[in-house]
A and B are shown apart, each in its own frame.
Chain A
Amino acid sequence: MKDLKHLTWFEDLLQDANNELIVQAQREGKKCVAYVCENTPEPLLNLDGIFSARLRAPRTGSMEMATYYLTSFLCEYSRALLERAIEGGYNFADCLIAPDGCTMINRAVENMELLHTMGKDKDSFFYENMEIPMKADDNGLNLFVLQCRNHILKPLEEKFGIDCSDSAIRKSVEEHNRVCSLIRAIGEFRKGERPTITGYEFNVITLATYVAPKYLLLDKLEETLEELKTREPDEKNAFRARVLIVGSEVDDPEFVKLVEGTGAFVCADRFCYGSFPGRDCITLTDDEDALTQICRQYMYRGQCPRYMDQAKMVGRREYVKRLAEEYAADGIIYEQIKFCDPWAYERMIGSHVLHNDFGYPVLSIDRPYSTSGTGQLRTRIQAFIESIEIKKIRGGV
Chain B
Amino acid sequence: MKAEVMTSNDKRIGAKNFGGAYSDGRVRKYREWRGVTDTLYDYSRWLLNWVTMFRVVLSKPRNIKAMFRYRWMANYLAVPMMVDRHTQGLRGEHLRICHAEQDLIIDDVAKLLDKLFRGDRRIGNDKAFSDKVVLVDENEMQSVMMGFPTLVPLSREIASTYIPVLLNQRAALHYIDVAQEYGLAGDVCPMPEAEAGVSIDDDAPILGKCAVQCNTTCDGSLLGNGIISKRLEFEDGIPVFQLATPLRHQEDDVQEYAAQEIRNAIAFIEKETGEKWDWTHYFECAKRVNYATKCRIEWLDMNKTPYPQVFGSNLALYTETNYMAISGRIPAFEKADRKITALAEKAYKKKKMAANEYRHRAIIWGVQSHYYMDFLVWLLNCWGIVPLTDMLSMVSTKMIAETDTPENREQAIFDIAWLTENMIMRNRTHGGYKVLLDELWEFVESFNADMVILWEHMSCKALDGMHGMFEERARERGVHLVWVSHDLFDPRVISRQGVRDQINSYMRTVMQEEPVDPTLEVLNDAESW
Chain A interface residues toward B at CB < 8 A: 68-71, 73-74, 78, 100, 102-104, 106-108, 110-111, 114, 129-131, 133-135, 139-140, 142-143, 146-147, 150, 305-306, 308-310, 313, 336, 338-339, 341-342, 344-349, 351-352, 364, 366
A341-B246 contact, Cβ under 8 Å, with A107-B466, A111-B468, A139-B261: no
Residue among B184, B185, B196, B261 with max Cβ neighbours from chain A (10 Å):
B185
Q: Is B399 an interface residue (CB 8 A)?
A: no
Residue of A nearest to B254 (CB): A131
Complex: A106 Cα to B246 Cα, angstroms: 14
* Contact call A107/B461, Cβ cutoff below 8 A: yes
Annotate B253-284 by CB proximity to A: 1 below 8 A, 0 otherwise.
11011001100100000000000000000000
Instruction: Jot down 25 A-B pairs with beta carbons below 8 A, ordered by A.
Output: A73-B458, A73-B464, A100-B430, A103-B429, A103-B430, A104-B461, A104-B465, A106-B465, A107-B464, A130-B248, A131-B253, A139-B261, A142-B257, A143-B254, A146-B257, A150-B253, A306-B219, A309-B242, A310-B229, A342-B223, A345-B196, A345-B226, A346-B226, A347-B183, A348-B185
Report the separation of the CA atoms of residues A150 and B188 in the bound assembly, to the nearest whole angstrom.
Answer: 33
| Per-residue contact bits, chain B 209-235, to A (CB 8 Å; 1 contact, 0 not) | 000010100111011111101100100
Most A-side CB within 10 Å, residue of B264, B432, B458, B467: B467
A295 and B219 CA atoms in complex are apart in Å by 22
How long is the Cα–Cα vector from A348 to B181 in the complex, in angstroms? 10
Residues of A within 8 A of B185 (CB): 336, 338-339, 344, 347-348, 366
**CB-nearest residue of chain A to B471:** A68
Residue contact B244 to A133, C-beta cutoff 8 Å: yes
Decide if B246 touches A70 in the complex (CB within 8 Å): no
How distant is the Cα of A68 from the Cα of B466 in the complex, in angstroms? Answer: 10
Interface check B469, CB cutoff 8 A: yes
Contact of A100 among B229, B248, B458, B459 (CB under 8 A): B248
Q: Taking the nearest CB of chain B, how far is it from the CB of A356, in angstroms?
A: 12
User: How far does the alpha carbon of A348 sit from the alpha carbon of B220 in the complex, in Å?
Assistant: 13
Assess whether B188 is in contact with A308, with CB atoms less than 8 Å apart. Answer: no
Q: Say whether B442 faces chain A, with CB atoms less than 8 Å apart.
A: no
Residues from chain B with Cβ under 8 Å of A313 in the complex:
226, 229-230
Beyond A135-B242, A308-B225, whether A345 also contacts B184 by CB under 8 A is yes
A308 and B465 contact, Cβ closer than 8 Å, known pairs A344-B184, A366-B185: no
B527 interface residue (CB < 8 Å to A): no
Q: What is the minimal beta-carbon distance from B18 to any residue of chain A, in angstroms?
A: 34
- Give complex CA distance A73, B183 in Å: 19
B106 at the binding interface (Cβ < 8 Å)? no
Collect the chain A residues with CB atoms within 8 Å of residue B220's CB: 341, 345
Select which of B179, B183, B257, B464 is within 8 A of A143 by beta carbon. Answer: B257
Nearest neighbor of A345 in chain B, beta-carbon distance = B223
Identify which of A69, A308, A342, A348 contacts B469 (C-beta below 8 A). A69
Residue from A130, A142, A150, A349 whose CB has the most chain B CB atoms within 10 Å = A349
Q: Of B182, B184, B242, B456, which contacts A308 at CB under 8 A? A: B242
Residues of chain A lying within 8 A (CB to CB) of residue B459: 73
Chain B 138-185 residues near chain A, CB threshold 8 A: 179, 182-185
Chain A residues within an 8 Å CB radius of B83: none
Q: Is B462 an interface residue (CB 8 A)?
A: yes
B432 lies within 8 A of A110 (CB): yes
Question: Nearest 6 pairs between A and B by C-beta?
Answer: A107-B465, A69-B468, A345-B223, A341-B219, A143-B257, A344-B185
On whether the beta carbons of B223 and A69 are closer than 8 Å, the reply is no
Please tell me the number of chain B residues within 8 Å of chain A, measured between CB atoms.
53
**Contact at A308–B183, with CB atoms within 8 Å?**
no
Cβ-based interface call for B251 (8 A) = yes
Whether the pair A110, B184 counts as a contact (CB closer than 8 A) is: no
A131-B223 contact in complex given A74-B461, A308-B242, A310-B242, C-beta closer than 8 Å: no
**Any A CB within 8 A of the CB of B187:** yes
Contacts of B225 in A (CB 8 A): 308
- Known contacts being A339-B461, A352-B183, is A310 close to B223, with CB within 8 Å? no
Contact A345 B188 (CB under 8 A): yes
Question: Given the complex, which residues of A lie within 8 Å of B134, measured CB to CB?
Answer: none
Known: A310-B240, A310-B242, A348-B184. A70 touches B223 (CB 8 A): no
When the two chains form the complex, which single residue of B183, B218, B430, B469 contacts A341, counting CB atoms closer than 8 Å?
A: B218
Q: For A147, what are the chain B residues with a Cβ–Cβ distance below 8 Å?
A: 253-254
- Cα A107 to Cα B461 in complex, Å, equals 8
Q: How far is the CB of B392 from chain A (nearest CB, A)?
A: 18
4 new A-B contacts, CB < 8 A, other than A107-B462, A142-B260, A308-B213, are A107-B464, A111-B468, A134-B215, A146-B257
Q: What separation, in Å, do the CA atoms of A349 and B182 have in the docked complex? A: 9
A114 vs B248: C-alpha distance in the bound complex, in angstroms?
17
Q: Are B219 and A102 in contact (CB under 8 A)?
A: yes
Indicate if the CB atoms of B465 and A70 lie closer than 8 Å.
yes
Task: Please tell me if the beta carbons of B465 and A344 are within 8 angstroms of each other in the complex.
Answer: no
Chain B residues near A102 (CB-CB < 8 A): 219
Residue of B nearest to A151 (CB): B253
Q: Which of B183, B248, B264 has a CB less than 8 Å from the CB of A129?
A: B248
CA distance A106 to B429 in the complex (A): 11
Give chain A nearest CB distance to B416 CB in angstroms: 15
Contacts of A347 in B (CB 8 A): 183, 185
A residues in contact with B316, CB < 8 Å: none
Contacts A133-B244, A140-B244, A142-B257: A74 and B465 contacting too (C-beta < 8 A)?
yes
**Which chain B residues border A150 with CB–CB below 8 Å?**
253
Choose among A70, A139, A146, A349 the residue that contacts B467 (Cβ–Cβ < 8 A): A70
- How many angstroms from the CA of A147 to the CA of B247 in the assembled complex? 13
The residue that A349 contacts in the complex, of B215, B230, B242, B260, with Cβ under 8 A, is: B230
The chain A residue with its CB closest to the CB of B429 is: A103
Residue of A nearest to B433 (CB): A110
User: Is A103 a contact of B261 with CB atoms below 8 Å?
Assistant: no
Q: Which residues of B contact A309 (CB under 8 A)?
A: 242, 244
**C-alpha spacing A302/B412, complex, angstroms:** 33
**In the complex, what distance in Å separates the CA atom of A286 from the CA atom of B247?**
33
Pair A68/B247 contact, Cβ less than 8 Å: no
A-chain residues with CB within 8 Å of residue B246 when the two chains form the complex: 131, 143
A58 to chain B, nearest CB (A): 23
Q: In the complex, which of the residues B226, B461, B465 contacts A111, with contact meaning CB atoms closer than 8 Å?
A: B465
- Decide if B464 touches A71 in the complex (CB within 8 Å): yes
Q: Which residues of chain A have C-beta atoms less than 8 A from B223's C-beta? A: 305, 308, 341-342, 344-346
Of B187, B215, B220, B225, most A-chain CB atoms within 10 Å: B187
Interfacial residues of chain B within 437-477, with CB under 8 A of chain A in the complex? 437, 456, 458-459, 461-462, 464-469
Cα distance, A102 to B258, chains bound together (Å): 19
Q: In the complex, A11 Cα to B222 Cα: how many Å?
A: 37
Cα A143 to Cα B261 with chains together (Å): 11
**Chain A residues with CB under 8 A of B248:** 100, 129-131
Interface string of B28-60 (1 = CB under 8 A from A): 000000000000000000000000000000000
Other-chain residue from A135, A146, A351 in contact with B244 (beta carbon distance below 8 A): A135
B244 and A339 within 8 A (CB): no
B:404-447 near A, CB below 8 Å: 429-430, 432-433, 437
Interface residues of B in 330-365 (CB under 8 A from A): none
Measured between beta carbons, the chain A residues less than 8 angstroms from B261 are: 139
Do the beta carbons of B226 and A308 come within 8 Å of each other? yes
Q: How distant is the Cα of A147 from the Cα of B246 in the complex, in angstroms?
A: 12
Q: In the assembled complex, which residues on chain B have CB atoms less than 8 Å from the CB atom of A349?
A: 226-227, 230
